[in-house]
Structure formats: structure tokens, C-alpha cells
Amino acid sequence: AQSVTQLGSHVSVSEGALVLLRCNYSSSVPPYLFWYVQYPNQGLQLLLKYTTGATLVKGINGFEAEFKKSETSFHLTKPSAHMSDAAEYFCAVGSSNTGKLIFGQGTTLQVKP
């Protein structure tokens, strides 16, 4: 079975500070991993994805994530937070084996001026 755990339901950073959102996954087959962002009362938008190949993945808006198989992690980072980054972020895992896309509980990012 697949599962995703996001550590910390709320993260607060100052504008210009490093953003780190944590995601650990469980999968019995090679996973596909995704980070999505959601603004209030809207759908989800893809930030970045890992399927195969390079383990450091760069996404939109300056975000990146590194797939670490040994740690079963896929943490999301951004060197310098911007006010517009305030939103809810979801990590997700999928596999071709099941066809299912499973999401974590989400992390709300607050950016303080």
C-alpha cells in the first residue's frame, strides 16, 4: 500500500527565509512523487514531480525537491520565501502498479513580512 506523511500541518517563515516542507512516503514499488499547491477555494496546481532520472527536481516559482530513496523522503524547499508563497501544499505519491494517486494531509505555509 502507498501512503504519504507530511510533517507539520502549519509552517511559518519570514519573508526571505528558507522554506522547507517535509514529505515522507511509503510505497512497495518505485514511486512517482508530486508536490501541489492550493490557494483558497481553488483546485490544485502542480509545482514539480519526480518520476525517474535526476533526483533533484526543479519546479515552478523557485521550488525544488530532492528524492531520497534511502530516507523515503521528498522534501520541498525554496531558498527565499515570498509573500505570494502563502498557500497549502500537498505531497502525493502514485504508481503505475495501482493507478492510484494518494495525497498527504497538507501543510499550510504562512509567510510573515
**Residue 51 vs 110, nearer CB to another protein:** 51
At which residue does the C-alpha cell 501541489 appear? 36
Least Cβ distance, residue 83 to another protein (angstroms): 23
Q: Is 84 left (phi over 0), alpha (psi -120 to 50) or beta?
A: alpha
Q: Which residue from 38, 47, 68 is spatially nearest to 56, judged by alpha carbons?
A: 68
**Span 26-85, contacts to another protein by CB under 8 A:** 32, 34, 36, 41-46, 49, 51-52
Contact 111, 13 (CB under 8 A): yes
**Residue 32 vs 62, nearer CB to another protein:** 32
Footprint on this chain of another protein (rule: CB under 8 A): 6, 9, 32, 34, 36, 41-46, 49, 51-52, 90, 92, 94-96, 99-106
